[in-house]
């Protein structure tokens, strides 16, 4: 079992003929993901990835022809909001946006629109999802993960890999690994994913990787205390970050004494979450629980 993506995922890639899009589409195909279509306006009728992926001009045409049920977006930031809305309008229930650098004000409108339509967005500015052995949607390296009982949710890309890899090396597999993205406005938050993992019978332990900025981790802590029966292990990046400086991710800035690692760690610990001192400790703690 898993959440959001699995062997039944029929994936459509928006921006499939771009450099990043084509590279990662090959990786997803190699992993065994069913990539059924690509979309690049103006290139309808062509094929991408050595003839393996038919390309359409619009998402609607791609869905009608192939029965795609999930989209992953690699188009550049200026065009990504359009791509997300197009996917939602074509009736896809799950849209994953890898693109980074989308203006916040643009995302506010996009998110409000998707909420209205009842479409789930993962990202933007995220590495996507990986259900080991079944489907890879996005850019996570497939070989670092293996099937098993741990659900992983993270605001960061490479930090996710840093935690998943030692889990795998220690023989602890994952149900699904999901990167929700580092931007201030994101489609899916920690609580949404925690709720899905809580309902997923195969997930026994959840790993949550947060970072400074915002208060999503505090909201997650409240949810864990009130609603979760499964154990949660966490790590918060940025304990040593100076306030007022943006640490790469647009969301990772500490302002006015809120959003610090210390506050997040305190909230999570109060909710019964075990918080690791550094990323590699996660595997040890999870092994102890299992």
Partner 1 sequence: MKLHEYQSKRIFAQYGIPIPEGEVATTPQEARAIAKRLGGPVAVKSQVLVGGRGKAGGIKLARSPEEAEEVAAQILSLQIKGLPVRKVLVDRAADIRQEIYLGIVVDRLASRPVMMASSEGGVEIEEVARTNPEAIKKVHIDPFVGLRAYQTLWLAKSIGLPPALHRDFGRIAQGLYRAFGECDASLAEINPLVVTGEGALLALDGKMVLDDNGLFRHPDLAALRDIDEETDSERAAREAGLSFVQLDGEIGCMVNGAGLAMATMDIIQHFGGMPANFLDIGGGARADRVAAALRLILADPRVKTILFNIFGGITRCDEVARGIIAVLDEVRPNLPIVARLVGTNEAEGRQILETSGYRIVTAITLAEAAQKAVAAARGAT
In the complex, the residues that contact partner 1 under the rule CB under 8 A are: 27, 77-78, 101-106, 108-109, 111-112, 139-141, 143-144, 154-162, 165-166, 182, 184-185, 209, 211-212, 214-216, 219, 235, 237-242, 245-252, 255-257, 277-280
| Residue 140 or 207 having the CB closest to partner 1 | 140
Six-digit token string for 213 = 């900025």
Which helix (H) or strand (E) segment holds residue 165: the answer is helix 158-169
Residues with catalytic roles: 249
| Residue 118 or 257 having the CB closest to partner 1 | 257
Write 256-261 long-range contacts (CB < 8 A, 24+).
258/215, 259/212, 259/213, 259/214, 259/215, 260/212, 261/211, 261/212, 261/236, 261/237
| Residue 60 or 239 having the CB closest to partner 1 | 239
CA distance 46 to 57: 10
What strands, in cross-sheet order, belong to the sheet with 135-138?
A: 135-138, 128-131, 174-179, 147-154, 205-211, 232-237, 274-275
Q: How far is the CB of 231 from partner 1 (least distance, A)?
A: 22
With CA atoms as reference, report the closest residue to 141 among 102, 188, 174. Answer: 174
Q: How far is the CB of 97 from partner 1 (least distance, A)?
A: 13
Q: How far is the CB of 50 from partner 1 (least distance, A)?
A: 18
| Residue 1 or 247 having the CB closest to partner 1 | 247
Whether a cis peptide bond, with omega within 30° of 0, leads into 124 is: yes
């Amino acid at each position: 079992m898993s959440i959001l993506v699995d062997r039944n995922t029929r994936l459509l890639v928006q921006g499939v003929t771009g450099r990043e899009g084509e590279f990662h589409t090959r990786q997803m195909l190699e992993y065994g993901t069913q990539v059924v279509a690509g979309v690049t306006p103006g290139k309808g009728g062509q094929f991408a990835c050595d003839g393996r992926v038919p390309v359409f001009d619009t998402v609607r045409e791609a869905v009608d022809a192939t029965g795609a049920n999930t989209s992953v977006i690699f188009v550049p930031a200026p065009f990504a909001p359009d791509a997300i809305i197009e996917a939602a309008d074509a009736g896809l229930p799950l849209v994953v946006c890898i693109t980074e650098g989308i203006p916040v004000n643009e995302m506010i409108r996009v998110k409000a629109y998707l909420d209205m339509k009842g479409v789930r967005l993962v990202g933007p500015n995220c590495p996507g999802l990986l259900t080991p052995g079944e489907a890879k949607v996005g850019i996570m390296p497939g070989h670092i993960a293996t099937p098993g009982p741990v659900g992983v949710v993270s605001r960061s890309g490479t930090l996710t890999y840093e935690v998943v890899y030692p889990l795998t090396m220690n023989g602890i597999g994952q149900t699904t690994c999901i990167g929700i993205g580092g931007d201030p406005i994101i489609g899916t938050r920690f609580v949404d994913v925690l709720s899905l993992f809580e309902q997923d019978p195969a997930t026994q332990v959840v790993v949550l990787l947060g970072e400074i900025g915002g208060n999503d981790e505090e909201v997650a802590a409240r949810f864990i205390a009130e609603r979760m029966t499964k154990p949660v292990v966490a790590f918060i990046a940025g304990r040593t970050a100076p306030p007022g400086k943006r640490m790469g991710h647009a969301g990772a800035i500490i302002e006015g004494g809120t959003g610090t690692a210390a506050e997040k760690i305190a909230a999570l610990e109060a909710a019964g979450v075990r918080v690791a001192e550094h990323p590699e400790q996660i595997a040890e703690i999870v092994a102890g629980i299992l």
